[in-house]
Amino acid sequence: MTNVPELFGSMVFNDQKMKERLPRATYKALKKTIQNGEPLDLSVANAVANAMKDWAVEMGCTHYTHWFQPMTGVTAEKHDSFICPDGDEVIMEFSGKELIKGEPDASSFPSGGIRATFEARGYTTWDPTSPAFIRDATLYIPTAFCSYTGEVLDKKTPLLRSMEKLSSVAVRMLHLLGKEDVTRVTTTVGPEQEYFLIDKKMYDARPDLIYTGRTLFGAPAPKGQELEDHYFGSIKTRVAAFMKDLDEELWKLGVLAKTKHNEVAPSQHELAPIFSTSNIATDHNELTMEVMKKTAEKHGLVCLLHEKPFAGVNGSGKHNNWSISTNTGENLLDPGKNPEDNLQFQLLLAAVVKAVHEYQDLLRITVASAGNDHRLGANEAPPAIISMYLGDDLGALVEAIINGKEYRSKDKSDMRTGVDVLPDFKKDNSDRNRTSPFAFTGNKFEFRALGSSLNIGCPNYMLNTMVAQELSEFYDALEGADDLEAALKALIRKTFTEHKNIIFNGDNYSAEWVEEAARRGLCNYRSLPEAMAHYVDQKNIDLFVNNGIVSEAEIRARYEIELEHYAKQLRIEALTMIDMAEKNITPAVSAFVGELTQTALAKKSLSSAVSVYTETALVEELSTKLEAFVKKTAELSEAVAKAEHFEGDNLALASYYRETVFALMGELRELGDAMEKKTAAKYWPYPSYGEILFGV
Ligand code: ADP
Ligand code: MG
């Protein structure tokens, strides 16, 4: 039996270990940095580095690494050993300087043109607010990453800055409201992570999965998710063994893995942790994804984190549960028993409503990716239109405020199960609206449009920044008011009135909503290039620059990186399809047609009375399809070649890939899948959807 409390955090240089191993004064100084963001001096860093190293070496480590989150979308690490020559021998050493600063060559990380290759130097800086941990005999130190000239090149720095910013404006606001004891406000996040788990043998036989993370061909299996028997279904033995192992690995790393279950699609699952502060939640989510992949390997499985690995069944997303709480332990998004009397809550709610309305484009942009383009708006995930769901109770309260009416919130009603042996319980005031991209769920907001592979740092720094911006504006409006309560009420009413168009409690998947949203003037950006074009709109640049999150040059760099990355991904997908088509699918179908022809000829020579109807019909059908398929493959090749005309203009390049190349890929796939349905299994070069999705 695993002793979970003992296991938990055993691989983390956590608070308890720091307390045990650091001199008291050092420990106190470090805590001040972690809790209040105070600068750290080198003598403290030296003591911490030494204690970390001693612990790591005791645990069998030989190396350390600065672990960072560049713009590639995956984490990066470079390993250095602790060895230091001492005469003929070596000793294990690690200095404060090495802890604080690393110097990876930055030239091969995306910088969106910010940095010339000859200025290759980049720096990683220790993030003391996220604890170091051990994996594979290596001490991992969470760090931020910037260029030699100081430009931010990662996803962590803006997040840390946005947390600071939101804290300072929220504290100022709370002081104005009379909460003088609050000194710090933090955002908390609990990301629910979806993933697929398939057999490694199936994966290895599919170049599309290997190169792109998704299947580019594949006729549907006779069974998909229509019986709804997989969601919350009993977990298969092999998957359960994986999940047990995964939980243990994550617990060792201090990740609060809590809930696991089967998801809607066959072979699809979910893991949800207990929430933590945004930056730790971000690091932990990155770790979770990496540990998922590694643990799957040990079980002869592959974990797919792509947003849409299989056509025809649900793709994978991530729900970003987000809230704000004070150092005095108050959740600022908790409406309490009587939200109608809770002006502080109403003000916070108004800030979020206004933020989501004014920056709906940014929220859409932050979840845009080549993978997520397959989900948003495809009747399984929230639509590409960003709107908010507040639930019946809060929705009615907001309505009453707008209309200047009295409102009394309903008490939670008793739920009668009608079976005596089952306990009755209090029913929640709002049902869940599963179709809403941004839903209020009791004491937090759930942003549901994230793709499964996304680094949650980005949506969270945007969310924090936009809410900080609104709170600053509110502060300016309220500061110096003669009658604060009256001013507050007027501001709340004005804000809800002006921004009620973002609130929508109905079915987000319906066609009527698309029309209604257009009437309301809400954005509906269906693809990454369409959305990304607005990244650099002046109001968005102002938001980040005025709040000190990233500079204009850095935003423009991020914009270029995203577009370029998208174009590259689509190019890889197109090239993989062409490769599969030319090297395997075309020869396979041709061989099958050859065999059918031989059979027909042999039958004919045996006796003219033998029917060759089957062979003839199939040969005719497949030959026609194959011709179309071969022509379409050539067309796709030409389209990819033509992309070079757009080099130098990343928006035009990405749009070209979306509009021309992606469309042709869809047509080629249709032809390929139609042939798969008619080709003998022994001739088809790749495992089928049935074998992959129901094989574990
Ligand atoms: P769902 O109903 O969406 O399946 P779950 O209970 O599986 O919800 O997940 C809810 C997530 O929300 C968990 O990760 C949980 O830790 C997180 N959560 C709860 N309270 C907060 C909060 N105050 N701030 C951020 N996240 C929270
Ligand atoms: Mg959820």
- Residues forming beta bridges with residue 680, ordered by sequence position: none
The pLDDT of 471-478, averaged and rounded, is 98
Of these ranges, 142-156, 263-277, 413-427, the one predicted with the greatest mean pLDDT is 263-277
- The percentage of the chain sitting over the pLDDT mark of 70, rounded to a whole number, equals 95
* Residues shown for the chain: 696
The pLDDT of 22-34, averaged and rounded, is 92
* Average pLDDT score, the chain: 93
Cβ 426 vs Cβ 377: under 8 Å: no
Q: How is residue 370 annotated by DSSP?
A: T
What are the CA-CA distances from residue 346 to residues 350, 395, 441, 472, 488 (Å)? 6, 12, 15, 16, 9
pLDDT of residue 232: 84
- The percentage of the chain sitting over the pLDDT mark of 90, rounded to a whole number, equals 84
**SS3 category, 680:** coil
- pLDDT of residue 544 exceeding 80, the answer is yes
HEC assignment per residue over 142-179: EEEEEECCCCECECHHHHHHHHHHHHHHHHHHHHHCCC
Residue 392 vs residue 578, higher pLDDT = 578
Nearest atom within ligand 1 for CA of residue 442: 20
Digit-coded pLDDT (tens) for 185-201: 999 999 999 999 999 99
Predicted confidence band of residue 411 (pLDDT cuts 50, 70, 90): low
pLDDT of residue 381: 73
Q: How is residue 213 annotated by DSSP?
A: S
For ligand 2, the distance from its centroid to the CA atom of residue 319, given in whole angstroms, is: 5
pLDDT of residue 417: 55
For ligand 2, the distance from its centroid to the CA atom of residue 317, given in whole angstroms, is: 10
- pLDDT of residue 431 exceeding 60, the answer is no
| Region(s) of the chain under CATH 1.20.120.1560 | 566-693
Assigned token pair, 148: 């030699």
The pLDDT of 354-358, averaged and rounded, is 98
Residue 573's nearest CA partner among 377, 375, 374, 370 is 370
pLDDT of residue 570: 98
- pLDDT of residue 293 exceeding 60, the answer is yes
For ligand 1, the distance from its centroid to the CA atom of residue 296, given in whole angstroms, is: 25
Asked whether 50 lines ligand 1 (CB < 6 A), one says: no
Cα 81 to Cα 64: distance, rounded to the nearest angstrom = 6
Class of domain 162-215+222-411+435-549: alpha beta
pLDDT of residue 282: 98
The pLDDT of 506-510, averaged and rounded, is 90
Asked whether 623 lines ligand 1 (CB < 6 A), one says: no
Digit-coded pLDDT (tens) for 639-654: 999 999 999 999 999 9
- pLDDT of residue 425 exceeding 60, the answer is no
- Residues forming beta bridges with residue 133, ordered by sequence position: 12, 140
pLDDT of residue 372: 96
| 234 φ/ψ angles, rounded to the nearest 5 degrees | -65, 140
Residue 448's nearest CA partner among 458, 457, 439, 461 is 439
| Region(s) of the chain under CATH 3.30.590.10 | 162-215+222-411+435-549
The pLDDT of 402-416, averaged and rounded, is 73
Nearest-ligand number for the alpha carbon of 447: 2
Predicted confidence band of residue 638 (pLDDT cuts 50, 70, 90): very high
Predicted confidence band of residue 118 (pLDDT cuts 50, 70, 90): low
For ligand 1, the distance from its centroid to the CA atom of residue 144, given in whole angstroms, is: 27
| Region(s) of the chain under CATH 3.10.20.70 | 4-154
State which CATH number among 2.60.120.10, 3.40.50.300, 3.30.590.20, 1.20.120.1560 fits the domain covering 566-693.
1.20.120.1560
CATH topology of domain 4-154: Ubiquitin-like (UB roll) (3.10.20)
Assigned token pair, 556: 């423009």
Digit-coded pLDDT (tens) for 662-674: 999 999 999 999 9
Asked whether 319 lines ligand 1 (CB < 6 A), one says: yes
Cα 60 to Cα 10: distance, rounded to the nearest angstrom = 13
For ligand 2, the distance from its centroid to the CA atom of residue 514, given in whole angstroms, is: 23
- pLDDT of residue 412 exceeding 70, the answer is no
pLDDT of residue 419: 61
Asked whether 318 lines ligand 1 (CB < 6 A), one says: no
